């Protein structure tokens, strides 16, 4: 019997999506789905959701639930990780303290000052999980959904021997969006996407022999399409390639959109954009709702179940690695090792790979276009520096990483960066007290 362990199973959207997709594969029809969460209430509720999936998908999966990570990992062949170290009150400090200094954060889970501190909090937990995997189920395939993806995967792949990669849905989500904008059948779209997580660029985007970029360039010259993704469309207009993550996220990754209130109003206006236009503390506001988890469960339980396989990669990868072995191509987060020649050799990059029974075969060797490579390489360097700061428990290296962050450097002096970081260190005392 194949066993898939979900560590941090209380993530309603990810857990239900991946379990549903697993039930569409015959190889997992009798698999054990072990749900693990340290919050027993959430564990009970997510178990109800998965039982509904089993019932409506007419699956023979065996559902188990535990608050013990060791129990969940015992005998596991696959591990899905969706954890979060700390609570909303800790995360709040990493959003609100920067705002005092004029650093306006949208989500704050991936990069800039809040993403850096989130990495410092989460890396120890991720390494603890990996060490348990090494000890309990060393041959397991581990897939990570926790952000900040680059820095967590960089740490796990550098300091452990676990077979781990990170997954994000921004590549497939953006490619589908662009196909819709261009008016072409998504099944006919052929693309290559290269860079780092949330800052990967479509270096090839075509349908048959038709290059879709000229079509998209015309589309975004109209208000109808320009207003859907103002930040990403501005980046595309200047640099010539489309980036994967939403406008809100990208507005906090660069120096151009959030350094002045007038720019925030112009480019991050909720009135005319997709799901994440870039308003201040967007995700934090959602998670400050004490009833959010219950609302998500209620919505899932009352919404008709879509039985077709969804867009998350995890089930397809696990089928390739553990199931019938059908190869599956996707964008994975892996150590560069020279695959992208003009990015740091030891950076964690997001590149196309193919999953098979034997592992992951890289499908890219080359360079990012010269127009976008400097931004991506610069950001990758900051993320490498952050992981080094964790390894050495060095406040000085954290100051350096935050000082070089594009948004922080557009707004703050070096002394202000140090003062801001010191406030965040003090607020995160339970997690970062060993930094000197």
Give the DSSP letter of residue 160.
Answer: -
- Kindly state whether residue 285 falls inside one of the protein's structural domains: no
Q: What angle do CA 257, 259, 260 make, to 5 degrees?
A: 95
pLDDT of residue 155: 98
Report yes or no on 287 lying in a domain: no
- The pLDDT value recorded for residue 85 is 86
pLDDT at position 74 is 98
Structure tokens at 31: 């698999």
Residues 75 and 195 in one domain: no
User: Do 25 and 103 sit in the same domain of this protein?
Assistant: no
- CATH number of the domain within which 51 lies: 3.40.50.720
**Element spanning 155, H or E:** helix 149-159
**pLDDT by residue for the chain (436 residues), tens digit each?**
999 999 999 999 999 999 999 999 999 999 999 999 999 999 999 999 999 999 999 999 999 999 999 999 999 999 999 998 888 888 999 999 999 999 999 999 999 999 999 999 999 999 999 999 999 999 999 999 999 999 999 999 999 999 999 999 999 999 999 999 999 999 999 999 999 999 999 999 999 999 999 999 999 999 999 999 999 999 999 999 999 999 999 999 999 999 999 999 999 977 657 888 899 999 899 888 999 999 999 999 999 999 999 989 999 999 999 999 999 999 999 999 999 999 999 999 999 999 999 999 999 999 999 999 999 999 999 999 999 999 999 999 999 999 999 999 999 999 999 999 999 999 998 899 999 9
Reduce the DSSP state of residue 388 to 3 states and report it.
helix
Residues 256 and 370 in one domain: yes
Does 45 lie in the same domain as 160? Answer: yes
Q: Are residues 123 and 80 in the same domain?
A: yes
340 and 436 fall within a common domain? yes
pTM above 0.95, yes or no: yes
CA 20 – CA 24 distance, rounded (Å): 7
Domain harbouring 254, CATH code: 3.90.110.10
- CA distance readout (Å), 184 to 56, 204, 214, 388: 33, 15, 13, 44
430 and 389 housed in the same domain: yes
In a domain, 114, yes or no: yes
Residue 66 sits at φ, ψ, to 5 deg, of -155, 155
Domain that holds residue 191: 88-109+169-280+326-436
According to the model, what pLDDT value does residue 272 have? 59
Judgement on whether residues 139 and 63 belong to the same structural domain of the protein: yes
Annotated catalytic residue, options 93, 169, 198, 249: 169
In a domain, 75, yes or no: yes
Same-domain pairing of 59 and 184:
no
**Residue 271: its pLDDT value, please?**
66
Q: Tell me, what's the pLDDT at 358?
A: 96
Statement to judge: residues 64 and 212 lie in one domain: no
Tally of structural domains, the chain: 2
Q: Is residue 124 part of a domain?
A: yes
Same domain, 220 and 304: no
Structure tokens at 345: 């050799």
Q: Is 93 a catalytic residue?
A: no
- Whether residues 248 and 348 share a domain: the answer is yes
Q: Is the dihedral of CA 111, 115, 121, 126 positive or negative?
A: negative
């Amino acid at each position: 019997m194949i066993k898939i362990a979900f560590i941090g199973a209380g993530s309603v959207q990810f857990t239900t999506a991946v379990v549903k997709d697993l039930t569409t594969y015959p190889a997992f029809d009798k698999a054990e789905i072990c749900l693990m969460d340290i919050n027993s209430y959430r564990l009970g509720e997510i178990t109800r959701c998965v039982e509904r999936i089993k019932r409506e998908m007419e699956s023979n999966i065996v559902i188990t639930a535990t608050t013990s990570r060791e129990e969940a990992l015992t005998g596991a062949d696959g591990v899905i990780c969706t954890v979060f170290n700390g609570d909303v009150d800790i995360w709040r400090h990493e959003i609100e303290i920067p705002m005092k200094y004029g650093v306006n954060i949208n989500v704050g889970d991936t990069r800039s000052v809040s993403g850096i501190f989130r990495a410092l909090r989460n890396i120890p937990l991720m390494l603890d999980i990996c060490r348990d995997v090494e000890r309990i189920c060393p041959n397991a395939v581990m897939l990570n959904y926790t952000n900040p993806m680059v820095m967590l995967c960089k740490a796990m792949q550098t300091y452990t021997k676990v077979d781990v990669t990170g997954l994000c849905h921004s590549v497939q989500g953006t490619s589908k969006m662009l196909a819709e904008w261009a008016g072409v059948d998504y099944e006919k779209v052929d693309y290559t996407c290269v860079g780092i997580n949330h800052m990967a660029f479509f270096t090839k985007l075509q349908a048959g022999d038709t290059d879709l970029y000229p079509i998209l360039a015309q589309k975004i010259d109209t208000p109808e399409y320009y207003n859907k993704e103002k930040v990403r469309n501005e980046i595309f207009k200047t640099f010539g390639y489309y980036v994967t993550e939403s406008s809100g996220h990208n507005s906090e990754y660069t120096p151009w959109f959030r350094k002045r209130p007038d720019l925030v109003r112009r480019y991050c206006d909720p009135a005319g954009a997709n799901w994440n236009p870039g308003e201040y503390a967007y995700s934090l506001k959602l998670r400050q709702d004490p009833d959010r988890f219950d609302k998500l469960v209620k919505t899932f339980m009352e919404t008709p179940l879509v039985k077709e396989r969804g867009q998350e990669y995890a089930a397809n990868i696990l089928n390739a690695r553990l199931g019938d072995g059908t190869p599956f191509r996707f964008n994975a987060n892996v150590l560069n090792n020279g695959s992208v020649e003009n990015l740091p050799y030891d950076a964690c990059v997001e590149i196309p790979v193919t999953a098979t029974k034997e592992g992951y075969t890289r499908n890219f060797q080359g360079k990012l276009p010269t127009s976008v490579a400097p931004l991506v390489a610069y950001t990758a360097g900051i993320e490498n520096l952050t992981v080094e700061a964790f390894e050495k428990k060095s406040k000085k290296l954290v100051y350096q990483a935050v000082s070089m962050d594009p948004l922080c450097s557009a707004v703050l002096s070096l002394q202000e960066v140090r003062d801001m970081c010191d406030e965040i260190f003090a607020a995160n005392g339970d997690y970062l007290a060993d930094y000197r």
